[in-house]
């Protein structure tokens, strides 16, 4: 073993056990497992440690080899994911060539979950199948909800970084990648950050953070953007509501609370938008000194090429076709339900009339999903794409049109492209089916992402204001100029308000 270098050892294994693989890097020596597919995985590597509501610090290297064969815990959250722990700053590496000099492009995956929940260990985002295509895949857990984004600085200046701790965690994980990924076969100068849903918002926000400059060389957002972050005054109002729900007057008292209580209180009323309290990145004038895409594209992110995607039926991913919310949809309650979802202020009755004129045979539920997909989910992508196009910064756009084979009523729902990207078509919740058509679309999407990560041609033109070219992925994929133009123009009549800001 070469001290501080990148020596690789293949360790023996007994019958029925995976072979051990040991890699040495500046962060220490890690023992992972070599799979039958030729991909070695190193799971649950600790990259940071942190006190509650404080910035994380790097972990000191252990003098002994560390077994990295099990995922680390998820950040405490309101979900059934287990285990959960505040000590959650771990990352995972999948590599087909765990040796220095391989020089493979790196995909750094940031999980979704609206800044409130999620995990890098969900089966649908296991990185082995994607890594088998000659790329190093890294994913990271980080702090979420109140633990990662509760802005307390407006109430107690000693908690100056609390509103963006989840983002700081990701910066620390990316710094770990820069320092260590070469030992696992990756090229630290070719790191593409990929985020889906809330993870896309995190990636977009990272690009606007000076602390992350130089750590991300290309970026991909999948159904998630961050045009504006939360303003500090609204974030302070949310913090007050959260403290009131806990019955606590001082932020300092949060330090002694059981983490279970902190999670339970996430159902506090959001005083800005209603519903459960939102917590996300904050314009704190430290980590973030301006919004990513308001009033225009942040200068920091203009030099980072972007690939941005949505799905054809985004909001069908949030309500099952048999949910009472959907089955009870009719023309009388449709206007109020649309208003509650749209980040644009337009008359609901007028929107419905325009859609009924274009889609005369659609049911009330069909219109709800079409309207909210275009006006809520797709609009954020348009804001980002057009801002970059105006600035002359390259961005390629795609739309996933491949509809669920597990339940065709769900269409191309929010997140369906995630399982197609990672190739985990049989994972719980993937919804794609495992047929030849799904495998074909998965292959097409993976080829596009890997071409982008390697700086190669994508097969379609960047988005411009003249053409608005968008690749539509399906069994037969094709580039389309200005798809759904009438919907884009309809919602362009009103300014966009980033949810949670």
Q: Answer yes or no: are the C-beta atoms of 135 and 153 closer than 8 Å.
A: no
Instruction: List phi, psi (to 5°) of 470.
Output: -140, 130
Q: pLDDT over 90 for what percent of the chain?
A: 94
pLDDT tens digits, one per residue of 431-482: 999 999 999 999 999 999 999 999 999 999 999 999 999 999 999 999 999 9
Find tokens 């690789």 and name the residue. 8
Dihedral sign of CA atoms 362, 367, 371, 377 in order: negative
pLDDT tens digits, one per residue of 52-94: 999 999 999 999 999 999 999 999 999 999 999 999 999 999 9
Residues 6+ away with beta carbon under 8 Å from 357: none
pLDDT tens digits, one per residue of 252-268: 999 999 999 999 999 99
Q: How far apart are the first and last CA of the chain?
A: 51
pLDDT tens digits, one per residue of 201-255: 999 999 999 999 999 999 999 999 999 999 999 999 999 999 999 999 999 999 9
pLDDT tens digits, one per residue of 10-28: 555 544 456 899 999 999 9
Spatial CA neighbour of 499 closest among 367, 366, 341, 374:
341
pLDDT tens digits, one per residue of 279-302: 999 999 999 999 999 999 999 999
CA distances from residue 180 to 57, 80, 111, 189 in whole angstroms, order as listed? 16, 32, 21, 12
pLDDT tens digits, one per residue of 354-374: 999 999 999 999 999 999 999
User: Would you identify the CATH topology of the domain 305-491?
Assistant: Rossmann fold (3.40.50)
Find tokens 């979420």 and name the residue. 144
Which residues is 19 bridged to in the sheet?
A: 34
Instruction: List phi, psi (to 5°) of 439.
Output: -65, -35
Q: Two tokens at 187?
A: 């090229």
Q: Answer yes or no: are the C-beta atoms of 204 and 225 closer than 8 Å.
A: yes
Q: How many CA atoms lie within 13 A of 85 on its CB side?
A: 12
pTM: 0.95
C-alpha 114/C-alpha 167 separation (Å) is: 13
For domain 40-267, the CATH superfamily is: Alpha/Beta hydrolase fold, catalytic domain (3.40.50.1820)
Q: Where are the alpha helices (DSSP H) in 61-182?
A: 128-131, 145-149, 165-180
Residues 6+ away with beta carbon under 8 Å from 319: 325, 326
Residues 6+ away with beta carbon under 8 Å from 494: 344, 345, 346
Find tokens 């859609």 and name the residue. 355
Spatial CA neighbour of 185 closest among 46, 40, 67:
40
Rounded to a whole number of angstroms, the CA Rg of the chain reads: 22
Identify the H or E element spanning 238.
helix 232-246
C-alpha 448/C-alpha 429 separation (Å) is: 23
C-alpha 112/C-alpha 356 separation (Å) is: 33
With H, G, I as helix, E, B as strand and everything else as coil, classify residue 194.
strand
Q: Where in the chain is the domain with CATH 3.40.50.1820?
A: 40-267, 305-491
Spatial CA neighbour of 463 closest among 376, 402, 387, 401:
387
């Amino acid at each position: 073993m070469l001290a501080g270098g990148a020596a690789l050892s293949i360790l023996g294994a007994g019958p029925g056990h995976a072979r051990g693989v040991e890699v040495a890097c500046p962060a220490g020596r890690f023992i992972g497992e070599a799979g039958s597919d030729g991909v070695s995985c190193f799971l649950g590597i600790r990259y940071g440690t942190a006190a509650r509501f404080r910035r994380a610090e790097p972990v000191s290297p252990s003098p002994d080899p560390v077994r990295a064969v099990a995922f680390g815990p998820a950040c405490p959250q309101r979900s059934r994911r287990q285990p959960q722990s505040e000590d959650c700053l771990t990352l995972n590496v999948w590599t087909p060539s765990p040796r220095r000099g391989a020089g493979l492009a790196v995909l750094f995956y940031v999980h979704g979950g609206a800044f409130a929940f999620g995990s890098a260990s969900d089966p649908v985002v296991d990185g082995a199948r994607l890594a088998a295509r000659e790329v190093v895949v890294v994913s990271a857990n980080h702090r979420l909800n109140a633990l990662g984004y509760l802005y307390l600085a407006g109430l107690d200046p000693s908690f100056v970084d609390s509103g963006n701790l989840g983002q700081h965690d990701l910066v620390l994980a990316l710094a770990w990648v820069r320092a260590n990924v070469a030992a696992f076969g990756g090229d630290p100068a070719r790191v593409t950050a990929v985020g889906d849903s809330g993870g896309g918002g995190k990636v977009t926000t990272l690009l606007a953070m000076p602390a992350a400059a130089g750590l991300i060389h290309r970026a991909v957002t999948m159904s998630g953007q961050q045009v504006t972050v939360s303003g500090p005054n609204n974030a302070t109002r949310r913090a007050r509501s959260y403290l009131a729900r806990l019955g606590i007057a001082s932020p300092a008292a949060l330090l002694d609370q059981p983490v279970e209580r902190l999670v339970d209180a996430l159902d506090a009323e959001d005083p800005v938008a209603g519903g459960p309290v939102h917590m996300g990145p904050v314009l704190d004038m430290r980590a973030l000194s301006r919004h990513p895409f308001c009033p225009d594209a942040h200068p920091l992110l203009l030099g980072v090429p972007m690939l941005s995607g949505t799905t054809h039926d985004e909001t069908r991913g949030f309500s099952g076709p048999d949910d009472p919310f959907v089955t009870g949809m009719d023309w009388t309650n449709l206007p109020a339900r649309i208003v509650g979802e749209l980040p644009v202020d337009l008359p609901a009755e007028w929107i419905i009339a325009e859609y009924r004129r274009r889609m005369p045979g659609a049911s009330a539920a069909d219109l709800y999903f079409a309207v909210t997909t275009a006006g809520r989910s797709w609009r954020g992508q348009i804001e980002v794409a057009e801002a970059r196009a105006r600035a002359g910064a390259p961005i390629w756009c795609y739309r996933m049109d491949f509809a669920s084979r597990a339940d065709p009523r769900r269409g191309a729902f929010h997140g369906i492209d995630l399982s197609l990207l990672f190739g985990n078509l049989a994972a719980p919740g993937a919804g794609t089916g495992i047929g030849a058509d799904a495998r074909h679309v998965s292959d097409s999407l993976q080829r596009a992402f890997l071409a982008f990560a390697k700086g190669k041609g994508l097969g379609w033109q960047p988005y411009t204001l003249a053409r608005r070219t968008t690749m539509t992925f399906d069994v037969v994929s094709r580039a389309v100029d200005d798809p759904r133009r009438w919907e884009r123009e309809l919602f362009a009549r009103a300014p966009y308000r980033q949810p949670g800001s």
